[in-house]
Structure 1
């Protein structure tokens, strides 16, 4: 395919399928099916929504477009807000915890030979101030 044009409102939204996720939704905007070597995804998290600690082989860049959240990466916790972004390398454990308002962010990932996600039995909220 030479190009693809659409609107986010036309893309199916599904629940994030990582064990322990709550109030978190994903839309796959650009994928291999469009001929891309990367994927662009939009996430929406309800107030107090969570994507729990996990790892995967692919790299990702998360760009916050609405709201505020805490991102646990490795053994650190960062507060991110609209306009902030973070790069997370392959196999680095991470989680996203929404605050009081709806959270929206885009996530760009590369395709690897293994796209599986490994949930971790680890609660990063114990590190929160």
Structure 2
């Protein structure tokens, strides 16, 4: 496929399937099905939504487009707000905890052969 055009509102929104997630939804916008060597995803977290501490083999860049959240990476935590972005390397544990209002962010990832995600059962302090 030479190109692909759509609208975010037309892409199915699914619950994030990491054990311990709540109020977290994902939309896969660009994938290998479009011929890409990477993926672009949009996440929406409801107030108090959580994507718990986890690890995976792919690298990711998260770009906050609405709201504010706490991101735990390794043993550190940071508050990110609209316009902030973070790169997280492969095999680095991380979590996202939303505050009181809706959070939206885009996440760009590479597509290694192993796309598995391992929930760690740890908190984000």
TM-score (norm 2): 0.99
Aligned-residue offset at 1:113: 1.4
Helix, strand or coil at the partner of 1:122:
coil
Point out where structure 2 has 5 or more consecutive residues left out of the alignment.
Answer: none
Aligned-residue offset at 1:3: 0.1
Q: How many residues align?
A: 125
Instruction: Determine the structure 2 residue equivalent to 1:102.
Output: 102
Aligned-residue offset at 1:118: 0.5
Point out where structure 1 has 5 or more consecutive residues left out of the alignment.
Answer: none
Aligned-residue offset at 1:121: 1.5
TM-score (norm 1): 0.96
Helix, strand or coil at the partner of 1:9:
helix
* RMSD of Structure 2 on Structure 1 (CA): 0.4
**Residue 46 (1) aligns with residue 46 (2):** yes
Instruction: Determine the structure 1 residue equivalent to 2:3.
Output: 3
CA deviations on 1:78-99 (whole Å, 9 max, x unpaired) are 0000000000000000000000
Helix, strand or coil at the partner of 1:55:
strand
Take 1:70 and 1:88, find their aligned partners in 2: how far apart are those partners?
Answer: 14
Matches within 5 A, 1:6-85: 6-85=6-85
Take 1:76 and 1:29, find their aligned partners in 2: how far apart are those partners?
Answer: 30
